[in-house]
Chain A
């Protein structure tokens, strides 16, 4: 059952990604990417990352992709008369070649999984989730070992907000 759900969601994710890079209309590309993000959220649940799955839907599929769609509609790109923005033969060749080369490289590392001695016993993360809750599982390392990076992230987001407002203003 898990296998079936995993492969279905993987197929949907890859299909959405392909539609995203081949779609002629930017709005269709964005919505295909939303499909991929939702499928990935489902895969996260299979890997016992419940909190991250919810964050994926709220932050990525919700906030970030709405931002993309908003900009697409604000700038009115992808008008029917605009023509395709897909590159010519040379661009297609390089895109296909480098994509295939990347897949081949990573297929060579297919068997390179972490050694048995590093792995947790099966079901450890599910047990931890049941014990601490889906949020507590993330919160405990986040607010202890990674507290300083967490605070730096807040500074980063503040800088991004200020930067976005300044850059998007009509007159600098």
Chain B
């Protein structure tokens, strides 16, 4: 029975992802931390799917599709921002701060 340990590992990975988002200022690395959080959630789905039926694996499939779309659009936005600002440091990307 590895369900409990798997959920614990998932929680740790998610927390590391949150800490990374708060710790770093580079937009690309923050983006990778978001991917890490998505993967932690995927692990939860997979671990519970073994107990509760294969539908959980279908949800992981959808999460992967959404993550791929998110990565494509997000990286395009990052490229566009870099072209305008010549930086990826979120400290200097504060157009909405007012």
Q: Is the CB of A164 within 8 A of B73?
A: yes
User: What's the least CB distance linking A30 to chain B, in Å?
Assistant: 6
User: What's the least CB distance linking A111 to chain B, in Å?
Assistant: 8
Residue of A nearest to B67 (CB): A64
Q: Is the CB of A103 within 8 A of B4?
A: no
Size class of B's contact patch? 35 or more
Q: A164 CA to B75 CA in the complex, in Å? A: 8
How many interface contacts (CB-CB < 8 Å) are there between A and B? 232
- Given A17-B36, A85-B29, A95-B23, A110 and B4 contact (CB-CB distance below 8 Å): yes
Size class of A's contact patch? 35 or more
Binary flags per residue of B55-98, CB closer than 8 Å to A gives 1, else 0: 10110111011111111110111111011000011000000000
Q: Is the CB of B79 within 8 A of A71?
A: yes
Residue of B nearest to A119 (CB): B51
Q: A168 CA to B50 CA in the complex, in Å? A: 41
> Which residues 37-87 of A sit at the B interface, judged by CB distance below 8 A?
37, 40, 43-44, 46-49, 51-52, 55-56, 59-60, 63-64, 67-68, 71-72, 74-75, 77-78, 85-87
Interface of A is mostly: helix
Residue of A nearest to B80 (CB): A167
Task: Note all chain B residues with C-beta closer than 8 A to A20.
Answer: 16, 20, 29, 32-33, 36
Task: Note all chain B residues with C-beta closer than 8 A to A156.
Answer: 65-66, 69
Task: Note all chain A residues with C-beta closer than 8 A to B79.
Answer: 71, 74-75, 167-168
Q: Is the CB of B36 within 8 A of A85?
A: no
Q: A170 CA to B82 CA in the complex, in Å? A: 11
- Kindly list the 4 A-B residue pairs having the minimum CB-CB distance in the complex, ordered from nearest: A21-B20, A160-B69, A99-B19, A106-B11
Q: A60-B35, A107-B8 known; 4 other A-B pairs, CB under 8 Å?
A: A64-B67, A71-B78, A75-B79, A110-B7
Binding site for B on A (CB under 8 A): 2-3, 6-7, 10, 13-14, 17-18, 20-22, 26, 29-30, 33, 36-37, 40, 43-44, 46-49, 51-52, 55-56, 59-60, 63-64, 67-68, 71-72, 74-75, 77-78, 85-87, 91-92, 94-96, 98-100, 102-103, 106-107, 110-111, 113-114, 118-120, 125, 128, 137-138, 140-142, 145-146, 149, 153, 156-157, 159-161, 163-168, 170
Q: List 7 A-B contacts (CB under 8 A).
A: A52-B61, A60-B67, A71-B75, A87-B24, A120-B53, A141-B55, A163-B73
